[in-house]
Amino acid sequence: MKQGKLKQILLITDGCSNQGEDPILVANYIQEQGITVNVIGVLDQGQTQSDSLSEVEAIATAGGGVCQLVYPQALSQTVQAVTRQAMTQTLQGVVNQELQQILGKDQTIEELPPEQRGEVIEVVEELTETSDLHLLVLVDTSASMQKKLITVKEALIDLSISMNSRVGDNQFAIYNFPGKKKPTSKVLDWSSKLNKLEAVFPKLTSGGMTPTGPALKEALYSFSQTGLLRSLRRNVEPEEADFGF
Amino acid sequence: MLSQKKLTSAFNLPIGSQIIGKWDRQRYTITRLLGKGAVGAVYLVKRDDGHLIALKISDQIASISSEINVLKKLTKVQGTSPGPSLFDVDDWISPTGENYPFYTMEYVKGERLDQFIQRRGMDWISLLFAQLLSELAKLHQAGFVLGDLKLENLIVTSDPIRLRFIDVGGVTLFGRSVKEYTEFYDRGYWQCGDRKAEPKYDLFSLAMVAIHCTYPKQFNKTDQPKQQLLAKLRQAKSLNRYQLFLERALLGRYKGCLEMKRDLEKHYLSRMSKNQKVILPSNHDQQTSWLEISIFSIISLITWLLAYLN
């Protein structure tokens, strides 16, 4: 059986966008293209969770993904947990659609009796483990992230350990924003391993600009460039058939 | 991980309140909170028949259903399972209308391993670990790793004294990526391997349990994680006698549970014989068999001689 592909963008940031398009609008658009946007908001030590990071929640909601606010020391575990949770969530959504087609509008996994639910979840789990993942990580490298970048790098290397322990294949790409003279620049092109990251991880970009919207747009463009988007459109029907029962 | 938005009623249920199952209509009265974990909250509850049992409730339908699936499979593993036994599976509709899946299981009563060790001494490690290893071996034989093996998840029951495991959230099929782990116990974090589920993954975590017992506050990772771990192990005086076994487990040199168990038992028995002049059962067996053989041969010799002389 040919497995489906899951496409995710993971945005790691510590504050509000202040340049370019509205990131919430862009996230909505990205979700329409079958790509999930997850956001991790990195908190400063002592910062309470309700501060300036409400935009972060809104981006994840618009992008159909998961949002988590964390202190730097918990970043590694959070990055892998969010990625995994978003994969499960997407697949659960696909399964729910199928259930509704077969059993009627109100039938979701939640509404099933526990016994049958367990069987459905086993299928979701199997798919989470075996599906191919294409993950584009978008790292905020504006001035305020200074002390957090080493932790971000470690978290991403750690993420690749987790993901490469799965059965399914992985492709990672990493972009940072703001870039030199551009809103975004490429750190690492699509590849299955992140161990090269040690050498190429970006230094801090100076300046107070945080062009989150344009960066998300660039991320979407990167997906279409690799032909992933085209293949998504082309394969939409067979892939859905894969997820069916 | 509980998301910030949902610090809802299900994780802060007041003592005395009741949960009624949506499907079975079974009633459970909250006695106290036992703990909050990555997937949800665990309460000690009283069932209508008066039994005290544990109830785990969550807002993550996929994670909790997968735990239930695991618990069901564990009951099929022969003999005593290292995990708690599963009773009921149901849903709870909160007063605000949200659907929370939950399950009930055996309440494993006892004290945490580190407290037990502190009270009764390091000597117990070899016995308790050997016990756990034989149960782990059964789990591995069924094709699963325990995954999230850590101090917080281990309880020593008192009657009989046995090391039990109380959280199956990390149980994963061989060959897949470990579902749930804790950094300090994870070989991936210490750059000692990947997160693919295989027997050695659990053995690494088990060694970290012993290390955590001697470093209650744990320690932070440095640039050379593997060397650091081995150094920490050597520095821990109370672990001296187990150093060799723990080092092997950390470095993935044991192929499986039973190999490590044999080493621990050998060590345990040799200590007994040194300290208390107890004859080793295995040697004892050998001595008896030698005796038997010699007696048998003498008797047959005599019989033969008698027959020959006659």
Task: Supply the mean pLDDT for chain A.
Answer: 85
Listed by start position, the domains of chain A span: 5-243
Q: Encode pLDDT of B209-256 as tens digits.
A: 999 999 999 999 999 999 999 999 999 999 999 999 999 999 999 999
The pLDDT of residue B292: 63
pLDDT band at A52 (very low <50, low <70, confident <90, very high): low
Sheet holding A132-140, edge to edge: A64-70, A36-42, A5-13, A132-140, A170-177, A185-191
The pLDDT of residue A107: 83
**Do B207 and B226 meet the contact criterion of CB atoms below 8 Å apart?**
no
β-bridge pairing A132-140 and A5-13: parallel
What is the pLDDT averaged over residues A195-218? 80
What distance in Å separates the CA atoms of residue B187 and residue B184, rounded to the nearest whole number?
Answer: 8
What distance in Å separates the CA atoms of residue B214 and residue B208, rounded to the nearest whole number?
Answer: 10
Q: Encode pLDDT of A100-150 as tens digits.
A: 888 887 788 888 999 999 999 999 999 999 999 999 999 999 888 888 998
Sheet holding B99-105, edge to edge: B18-20, B27-36, B40-47, B52-58, B99-105, B86-93
What is the pLDDT averaged over residues B172-181? 95
> Is B148 an active-site residue?
yes
The pLDDT of residue B310: 63
What distance in Å separates the CA atoms of residue B110 and residue B272, rounded to the nearest whole number?
Answer: 26
What is the pLDDT averaged over residues A81-109? 89
pLDDT of residue A199 exceeding 80? no
Pick the residue with more confidence: B39 or A129? A129
ipTM: 0.84
Q: Is the bond preceding B225 in cis, omega lying within 30 degrees of 0?
A: no
β-bridge pairing B99-105 and B86-93: antiparallel
Q: Encode pLDDT of B144-171 as tens digits.
A: 999 999 999 999 999 889 999 998 989 9
The architecture in CATH of the region B111-276 reads Orthogonal Bundle (1.10)
Tell me the β-bridge partners of A38: A10
The pLDDT of residue A239: 41
pLDDT of residue A1 exceeding 50? no
The pLDDT of residue B296: 67
What distance in Å separates the CA atoms of residue A49 and residue A43, rounded to the nearest whole number?
Answer: 7
CATH superfamily entry for domain B4-105: Phosphorylase Kinase; domain 1 (3.30.200.20)
Active-site residue (options: B49, B59, B91, B148): B148
pLDDT of residue B51 exceeding 80? yes
Nearest chain A residue (CA) to B90: A114
What is the pLDDT averaged over residues A24-37? 96
For chain B, what percent of residues have pLDDT higher than 70?
Answer: 88
Return the DSSP state at B153: G
The pLDDT of residue B273: 76
The pLDDT of residue B276: 60
The pLDDT of residue B8: 60
**Do A213 and A21 meet the contact criterion of CB atoms below 8 Å apart?**
yes
Closest partner residue to A92 (CB to CB) among B1, B23, B62 is B62
A contact set with B (CB within 8 A): 49, 57, 66-69, 76-78, 81, 85, 88, 92, 109-110, 113-115, 117-118, 121-122, 124-125, 129, 158, 161-167
What is the pLDDT averaged over residues B262-282? 72
What distance in Å separates the CA atoms of residue B249 and residue A73, rounded to the nearest whole number?
Answer: 27
Task: Tell if the CB–CB gap between A118 and B68 is shorter than 8 Å.
Answer: yes
What is the pLDDT averaged over residues A224-244? 49
Between B72-86, B112-126, B150-164, the lowest mean confidence (pLDDT) is in: B72-86
What distance in Å separates the CA atoms of residue A145 and residue B231, rounded to the nearest whole number?
Answer: 34
What distance in Å separates the CA atoms of residue B190 and residue B184, rounded to the nearest whole number?
Answer: 8
Q: Give phi and psi for A219, each to the nearest 5.
A: -60, -45
Q: Which residues from B are below 8 Å from A158, CB to CB?
A: 188-189
pLDDT of residue B2 exceeding 70? no
CATH superfamily entry for domain A5-243: von Willebrand factor, type A domain (3.40.50.410)
Listed by start position, the domains of chain B span: 4-105, 111-276
What distance in Å separates the CA atoms of residue B203 and residue B197, rounded to the nearest whole number?
Answer: 11
**Do A166 and A125 meet the contact criterion of CB atoms below 8 Å apart?**
no
